[in-house]
Amino acid sequence: MGSSKDSASVTNISVEEHFSVSQSSPGGQFVGPTEEISTAAEALIGRSTTLTEALKAASMNVGHKPVETTDVAAIKEVETRAIGGDIESDGGVTAVASKAVARNQKIGKDNEKTNLGDVIAEIDVKVTRDREVTSEDAEAVIRAELNHSPFNNIIPGGVAESVAAAYKLNHDPSSL
């Protein structure tokens, strides 16, 4: 996977082959499996491995960073899959994240921007249904984040990596 803005969208993702983001790779680019346990996986050990729990893990890991369009795409995929259909256009977590991005684009200082943790803090109120993460969920969330990333990369410890970690824990807890 390149780092070009002009690269084609990602369509074929395999969680089994592409589980984590290397903490040491330049720019946090999405890479193949690593021997290290990702920060997202560490946050999920001993926890429920549902879609909303994966979002909470992302909040624990990178909740301090300002919300970006890549986060909105990944959150939208998670929310849609958690509730099993269409999301509310004005009241869901995706809507809150979208409004936060619009607000953040008007603000110069990062410390004044709405961060990912602020958006995900509303998950329990905004998403009333949930289910365990499947490989299809993880692949779709990874694809959404990659397709909306200007540098075609996954945010280390972010939404996509946390959903992938949740799937791995559901699939084979001893693999981590």
Q: What are phi and psi of 45, to 5 degrees?
A: -60, 125
What is the residue type of 74?
Answer: A
Whole-number Cα distances in Å, 9 to 12, 13, 23, 147, 153: 10, 11, 23, 5, 12
- Report the pLDDT averaged over residues 96-115: 96
pLDDT winner (highest mean) among 69-78, 118-127, 149-158: 69-78
Confidence bin at 149 (pLDDT 50/70/90): very high
Name the residue among 108, 19, 121 with its Cα closest to residue 75.
Answer: 121
- Report the pLDDT averaged over residues 146-151: 93
- Report the pLDDT averaged over residues 127-135: 92
How many residues does this entry show for the chain?
A: 176
pTM (two decimals) = 0.76
Mean pLDDT of the chain: 80
What's residue 36's pLDDT?
A: 44
What's residue 138's pLDDT?
A: 96
What's residue 63's pLDDT?
A: 95
CA angle 19, 22, 28 (to 5 degrees): 110
Assess whether pLDDT exceeds 80 at residue 175.
Answer: no
Whole-number Cα distances in Å, 45 to 89, 118, 130, 169: 33, 23, 18, 8
Name the residue among 119, 107, 128 with its Cα closest to residue 51.
Answer: 128
Confidence bin at 39 (pLDDT 50/70/90): low
> Domain locations in the chain?
51-171
Confidence bin at 115 (pLDDT 50/70/90): very high
